[in-house]
Structure 1
Amino acid sequence: MDLEAVRTFAAVVEAGQFQKAAADLAITQQAVSKRVATLERDLGARLFTRTPRGAELTIDGQAFLPHARELLRAAERAVASVGTGRRPLRVDVIASRVAPSGLMRDFHRAHPEVDLDVVMLFDVEAAVGAIRSGAIDASFRAVAAPGRSLPEDIESVRVLDEPLQLLTGPAHALAGARSVTVAQLAGHRIWMPGIAPGTEWAAYYDDLVAEFGLGIEVTGPNFGSDALLDTVADTPALATFMSEHTRVVWPAGHGLRRIPVTDPTPVYPHSLLWHRDNPHPALAALRAHLAATRPALDAPGTWRPGWVLPR
């Protein structure tokens, strides 16, 4: 069914005359008559009776009118669902407890009027593909890892350099330290079973190991953060890295310690990625918010891999 013909039918009903409907629609009276005739042919029913006073609905026209109006309302809702700025801003934060999730919570508090859909995509290639297809508007990632250059239509800006901390149990040799240097970590077992090969964080820790000669173990199944915290708390020989803004809660009896790492402080580089042609106004608001609240990048005494984009 031709939606323009339905819209013209409704305009004639509203105006009461073909001529006035034509003026309201900014088309000719002949075009109005042609559209109504097409609709009547499609429906197999006569919708109007011409009278000296204008056009009156037939019984079939009266029956069709509420359905015509519902069709037009449905069309308006369909357009509104995809109109720029009328749908929620969809942003990938990778996981619920990491820094990007916190950045989006801060944005929501600053801009409660913006509708958000927060999603969690594990793989950077899936995230970039979702940005290019329009399935999401933005993603937080570390870019650009070796062999993972961004497509030309994807823009990025670094929004946070997040310091790493050492997490130990109460019986670990370094548990009483107020801070530890990277050199002091040499020879200690740092267990990180959640590092998946091929991810940007795997590339990050590969460079960290190569740069400072650390021993990072990724053996064993990854049962999640709770199991990791249980093991670190109970095993004096093990520690793990945890980013400063990672949100975790552990039982009081665990006695875990979060210890700053210095000389230099390894920082994990978070960037926001988006498609250069994305017109969503809330995306511009998110970028402006992140720019206004961004801490200093490349601070003295910090380390990041050489492949990190400086923007």
Structure 2
Amino acid sequence: MTIIPQQSTIENLELIARQVVEGFIIGLHKSPFHGFSVEFAEHRLYNQGDNLKYVDWKVYGRNDKMFVKKFEEETNLRCYIALDTSASMFFPETGTTKLQYSCVAAACLLHLFKKQLDAGALAFFDEGLNELTNAKSSSRHFRTLMTELEKVLHQKNQGKKTDTAAALHQLADRIHQRSLVIIFSDMPDASENGEALLSALQHLRYNKHEVILFHVVDGKKELEFDFENRPYEFVDMETNEVLKINPTDIKEAYISKMTAYRKRLENHCQQNRIDLITCDMGEPVEQVLNRYLLKRNKMM
């Protein structure tokens, strides 16, 4: 399990990403998929009719499963990571923020893209799409993306609201080749703008993109509503609306509404064959890498 350091102590995002990915790969070595997982980009499951000369017999000897060696043109994939940088992503104000967690997860994915010769790109959004890089697989481009991530990691909260639907429409308009789009967001606008979000997700799928939506949450506070039995002052980070209340008085109603909201979001994603993953900051960031590999395997 990787413990993400406090934002003020992160000095080298690339180093952290490399350590996480290398540890993740070591863990795969110990899994039942030993051999396949480490060289994921160079293998696929054997299908009837495949030329036997391309079977990796060493891998077969280790796990009794047949995998075919893949060529570079088969393995290249364009991967766009869209990162929500709105005000709500700066929650909580102490400890690891959603934005920090997402930046580390994105850096780890970029490092994995590099190892697999996949082309990586970054997009940042809040009230709209603010930046979109090209998708490339070179080492120089990888370092440029890491620099961009570190800038976002250390930026101050600018009080920007979230318009996920507008940003995803703009992203869909600007990506012209079939790609994998990975979104990190806490989706604060999904409840009020459900139809608009559904339309944006449909736009991505209509353009033949595969999508993974990582719904970034603080599970203890946002899902379980776990607070002490005393008065609190809650402040909406995007509207600055203030609510003074004892959490115990509204916990049952809050959890009911949160469950309904998450169900609607899940239904929207299911309608469009989008992978919706709850990304609890209390869980190891390696879960993000595992989900990516599962998705990539399906696509290939």
> Do both share a fold (TM > 0.5)?
no
Q: Which has the higher helix share?
A: 2
TM-score (norm 2): 0.27
Return the structure number with greater strand share. Answer: 1
TM-score by length of 1: 0.26
Which structure would you say has the larger RCO, counting Cα contacts within 8 Å and 6 or more residues apart?
1
